[in-house]
């Protein structure tokens, strides 16, 4: 069972939604990287549930406990191990569905594969596992920032509401101003309404998140199987509820002519640049030096309180289910820091693979 991701910047995660803690071990992080608990906490706070009525009301402090790999405020080059305790677990909420499969969730496939059903909050398939990804991502981000690279995720669609896409600096400024992580303030208001409406009807809603990486050098990515876009797609698709990944123009390429979408080259101050960036900053699996642009489609949260038809596996009979517990009516805002983390992990890993950075940060 693979709980490990990455080649040189290697991330192993563990933990279940209602277990004692969730955690991560990061191997291959260069030594000498300044790293404080606050760097990790800041990123975890972005992911934390219970911050508004738009997310699950589970109240977690998500305080990281650093067990190894950091000394005198810097990474040592040894495995970094960090845990976060699960403090606000209400496993009783899940008693009713102990033997009942939630449509759209991982209950059926986990039970089929392992024969064990950890019904408490979704077990390992819960969004709670993404705490570990965000911890690793916060460390990858520090490596990127030291190299002038930034990664930002923002919500561009929720249900029927689509956002205008401002420039990078405006996106960074605006996303903190609303609970939906949308850079278009007008659309953000409508998105909030869309989520509340769905929630009030006992339903949930999906959407689209865009992730932009600015400042990555040209040359990241390996030919053929470890292409940068292939690794990004795997990283992003491994997040629960993500059902599609686009790089650059993505599915919009389908009805275009090459003459309209090829990114033409020109020379600027002795450097080669492209006039457009339909390729999303990647050609032949290798970064061009332009912005790396990915989009993910996020499905509506499976756990809804509307009545649904399903099966009780203890009696092997069909049944209606009405799901209780605290759930995100829309996963998009909470997935932003997770998607930023996964992209940052991939970029940091490829910087090590390409030799852009080495095992010691000076
Ligand atoms: C950050 C995050 C939060 C999530 N919150 C919930 C939730 O509150 N309720 C729920 O049913 N699913 C939630 N999910 C989605 C499930 O984990 C996911 O749909 C499930 O594991 C099935 O996997 P699949 O949708 O990728 O097939 C969340 C996912 C993420 C990444």
Instruction: Name residue, tokens 């919500």.
Output: 155
Distances (CA, A) of 96 to 56, 87, 119, 120, 310: 19, 22, 10, 11, 13
Q: Are 164 and 182 in contact (CB under 8 A)?
A: no
Q: Which residues of the chain have pLDDT under 70?
A: 1
Q: What share of the chain is helix, strand, coil (3-state, %, to 5)?
A: 35, 25, 40
Tell me the best of 102, 119, 301, 341 to mutate to test the pocket of ligand 1, counting ligand atoms within 8 Å of each CB and taking the most: 301
Query: 145 C-alpha to center of ligand 1: Å?
Result: 29
CA angle 296, 300, 305 (to 5 degrees): 160
Ligand 1 centroid to 345 CA: how many Å? 21
Rounded Cα distance between 132 and 64, Å, is 10
C-alpha to C-alpha distance for 355 and 8, rounded to whole angstroms: 11
pLDDT at 143: 98
pLDDT of residue 1: 61
| Residue 219 exposed, middle or buried by CB count within 10 Å (0-12, 13-18, 19+) | middle
Cβ count within 10 A of residue 129 = 22
pLDDT digits (tens, 9 = 90+) for 191-229: 999 999 999 999 999 999 999 999 999 999 999 999 999
pLDDT in tens, 42-61: 999 999 887 888 888 888 89
Ligand 1 atom nearest to 239, measured from its CA: 31
Which amino acids bring their CB within 6 angstroms of ligand 1?
Answer: 56, 105-106, 122, 125-127, 130, 239-241, 299, 301-303, 327-328, 331, 334-335, 338
Contacts of 113 (CB under 8 A, 6+ apart): none
């Amino acid at each position: 069972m693979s709980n490990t991701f990455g080649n040189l910047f290697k991330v192993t995660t563990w933990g279940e939604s209602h277990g004692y803690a969730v955690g991560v071990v990061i191997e291959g992080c260069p030594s000498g990287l300044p790293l404080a608990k606050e760097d990790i906490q800041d990123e975890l706070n972005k992911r934390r549930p219970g911050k508004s009525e738009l997310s699950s009301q589970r109240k977690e402090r998500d305080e990281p406990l650093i067990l190894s790999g950091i000394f005198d405020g810097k990474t040592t080059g040894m495995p970094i191990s960090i845990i976060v305790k699960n403090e606000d677990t209400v496993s009783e909420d899940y008693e009713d569905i102990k033997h009942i499969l939630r449509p759209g969730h991982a209950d059926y496939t986990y039970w089929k594969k392992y024969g064990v059903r950890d019904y408490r909050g979704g077990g390992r398939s819960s969004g709670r596992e993404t705490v570990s990804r965000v911890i690793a991502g916060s460390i990858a981000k520090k490596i990127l920032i030291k190299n002038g690279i930034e990664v930002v995720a923002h919500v561009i669609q929720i249900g029927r509401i689509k956002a205008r896409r401002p420039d990078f600096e405006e996106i960074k400024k605006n996303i903190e101003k609303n609970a939906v992580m949308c850079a278009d303030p007008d659309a953000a208001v409508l998105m909030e309404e869309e989520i509340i409406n769905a929630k009030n009807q006992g339903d949930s809603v999906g959407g689209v998140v865009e992730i932009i990486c600015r400042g990555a050098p040209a040359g990241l990515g390996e030919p053929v199987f470890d292409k940068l876009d292939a690794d990004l797609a795997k990283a992003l698709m491994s997040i629960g509820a993500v059902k599609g990944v686009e790089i650059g123009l993505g599915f919009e390429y389908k009805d275009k002519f090459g003459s309209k979408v090829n990114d033409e080259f020109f020379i600027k101050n002795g450097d080669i640049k492209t006039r457009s960036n339909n390729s999303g900053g990647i050609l032949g699996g290798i970064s061009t030096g332009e912005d790396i642009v990915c989009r993910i489609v996020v499905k509506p949260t499976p756990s809804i309180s509307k009545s649904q038809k399903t099966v009780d596996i203890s009696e092997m009979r069909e049944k209606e289910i009405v799901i209780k517990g605290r759930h995100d009516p829309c996963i998009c805002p909470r997935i932003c820091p997770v998607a930023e983390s996964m992209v940052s992990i991939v970029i940091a890993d490829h910087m090590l693979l390409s030799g852009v950075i080495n095992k010691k940060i000076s």
